[in-house]
Structure 1
Amino acid sequence: MRTALPILAVVAALVALWYAACLPMNAQQSTLLAERAGVSVTPATAAERRDRSGLALAFANPGVAVEHAFAQERPRLPAPHQVAAELWDSVVDKRVTSRRSLVFHAGITLAPTLLGFAIGSLLGIALAVGIVHSRVMDLSVMPWAIASQTIPILAIAPMIIVVLNSVGIQGLLPKSIISAYLSFFPVTVGMVKGLRAPGSADLDLMRTWNASRLRTFLSLRLPTSLPYLFASLKIAIAAALVGAIIGELPTGAVRGLGARLLAGSYYGQTIQIWSALFGAAIVAAMLVATIALIERITLRRMGLAR
């Protein structure tokens, strides 16, 4: 209960700020809707409305702003209850197999997310093991891994899709590669940190026992690295979801969370855009929670959890 109260207070404050932001953001459209309904508003002329900011219009017509700001069909900033209603309609009221179901689109995006996460995680772990055990890889591979993250994913995603499409590779794999590109780096960095976590005294003890590199890795370095690995996997799984969504954008996809964002952008459906964003956030939270559950079970069985 003590933990829930601060969280609820922060959520309530954010929702209140969100509602407050809707007033100036939607004030101009509220004025137009009121005029069409025959309500007299100030400022009266279109030129005056163009010269006034959203906040000024909201103060000039507080009743109009409050009445129309939270019920527009295509608002600049949807109100929280509008996004919640859209989420309920697209998640609960629609069948999972329906193209209008957000669950259907989330499932389409989830497939490349998980495949890209698996590829990126395995690649990151392999690179980390090589970097820790090879001075040459440490000096050569690690700088390139860092440099790879300076390239904007929005710039490289179309290139990956076009190149793979030219050799006949379409569908799931190109989006998975983009997800793997975003997810391998945090796993690499976290695993390197974890594999190097054992102190010199522990390593000297393993040498005293004449332990091989493999035995030292399995008995000392790997168990010590698990907390670092799981922390990195939580970041990587969220990054993989972002990569899958971005991979859907250049192809003009008609299925997936990226497709919902594109469709909402094309037709000015801001409520649909916000509901898709919240849907992606919910999926990411569920994936991170799954990794956290696996972490808790694994560390507890190994005697590393408190």
Structure 2
Amino acid sequence: MTDTALTPSRSSLNPFSGLFSGTVGPVIVVVAAILAIWYIAAVALNTPFQEELYKRADLTDVPISQLVTDTLAQERPVLPAPHQVIVEIWNTTVEKKITSKRSLVYHSGITLSSTLLGFLIGTTLGILLAVGIVHSQVLDKSLMPWVISSQTIPILAIAPMIIVVLNAVGISGLLPKAMISTYLSFFPVTVGMVKGLRSPEIMHMDLMHTYSASRLQTFWKLRLPYAVPYLFTSMKIGMAASLVGAIVGELPTGAVAGLGARLLAGSYYGQTVQIWSALIMAAILAGTLVALIGLLETLTLKRMGMVR
């Protein structure tokens, strides 16, 4: 028996080596660092107001531990602590009925409906534009610059215009907000699909010409399979952008439901904990939607034989 066999490996000596060799360990470290920075920032930003409260109450020589505790328990802090946001999310999700207008689940459902509708329209429009741009030089030279330049207009400037115009023609409710989501989500899908449809190698295109394949056959048998990974990547970006569009679309309408409405109500009444809970809920919703697209991507690519 050799000495190498008797010598324990580094991974067995260090129980954390396996954890940090993957993605779980680094993610835990990053999350812990974010929480630490968040708590430090909360104490620093909330301290001036807390010291003012002590002065009004004629309290002096307050221990630092008490100061820190009080800054992290303010009712309307400048920056709420993470545990305050978590408690607010718990109270407005688990402790409230889904049908309650104080439930974050209810408001998330309102925002989700316009997000999905806008994403569906934007993805369909993006795919159609990409197909037209790839197969027509006229559309490539005339339409593509307009597609790119459309994203230079700030969404906060164009959102009220879309709402006003659609309301003027009698269209209100879900569709105007979905159109703003469409405006943000179609661009990444268009650009990604154009890149994907143009990604086949020249030798493969020549081979299709050798087989006398039609444009339609080349599209279905060669261009589209090449473009599928690009499509899913652009859909992930488009989904996140669609959610942002749905929230922005709720702001100029004075909506009373949706995550955007929660943000507005929180800003009106100085409820920073409510604002941050809506923001975190939006982040969770976006992460969930993107993860579902990633799962669909994995299943699709496996079905196509592109991944094992």
Provide the TM-score with structure 1 as the length reference. Answer: 0.92
Matched residue type, 1:12: A
1:83 aligns with 2:85: yes
- Residues 212-256 of structure 1: per-residue CA shift (max 9 Å, x gap): 000000000000000000000000011001000000000110000
Per-residue deviation, 1:35? 2.9
Given that 1:31 and 1:41 are in contact with CA atoms closer than 8 Å, whether structure 2 keeps it comes out as no
Gaps of 5+ in 2: 1-18
Match of 1:32 in 2: 52
Q: Equivalent residue of 1:93, what SS?
A: coil
1:204, 1:297 → 2: CA distance?
Answer: 30
Q: How many residues align?
A: 288
Sort the Cα spacing of 1:138 and 1:26 in 2 relative to 1 into closer, same or farther, 3 A: same
Gaps of 5+ in 1: 43-60
1:132, 1:41 → 2: CA distance?
Answer: 72
Given that 1:96 and 1:103 are in contact with CA atoms closer than 8 Å, whether structure 2 keeps it comes out as yes
> Over aligned residues, Cα RMSD in angstroms?
1.2
Sequence identity (%): 64
Sort the Cα spacing of 1:221 and 1:195 in 2 relative to 1 into closer, same or farther, 3 A: same
Per-residue deviation, 1:32? 2.1
What are the equivalent positions in structure 2 for 1:96-245 lying under 5 Å apart? 96-245=98-247
Given that 1:34 and 1:41 are in contact with CA atoms closer than 8 Å, whether structure 2 keeps it comes out as no
Per-residue deviation, 1:91? 1.1
Given that 1:31 and 1:64 are in contact with CA atoms closer than 8 Å, whether structure 2 keeps it comes out as no
Per-residue deviation, 1:33? 2.4
1:10 aligns with 2:30: yes
1:302 aligns with 2:304: yes
Q: Equivalent residue of 2:276, what SS?
A: helix
Match of 1:49 in 2: none
- Residues 163-207 of structure 1: per-residue CA shift (max 9 Å, x gap): 111111100110010000000000000000000000100000000
Per-residue deviation, 1:63? 4.4
Q: 2:285 aligns with which of 275, 283, 286?
A: 283
Matched residue type, 1:25: L
Per-residue deviation, 1:6? 1.3
Provide the TM-score with structure 2 as the length reference. Answer: 0.91
Per-residue deviation, 1:304? 1.0
Moved over 4 A (4+): none
Sort the Cα spacing of 1:35 and 1:67 in 2 relative to 1 into closer, same or farther, 3 A: farther
2:57, 2:66 → 1: CA distance?
Answer: 11
Given that 1:191 and 1:225 are in contact with CA atoms closer than 8 Å, whether structure 2 keeps it comes out as yes
Q: 1:21 aligns with which of 35, 41, 52?
A: 41
Match of 2:14 in 1: none
1:72, 1:105 → 2: CA distance?
Answer: 25
Q: Equivalent residue of 2:94, what SS?
A: helix
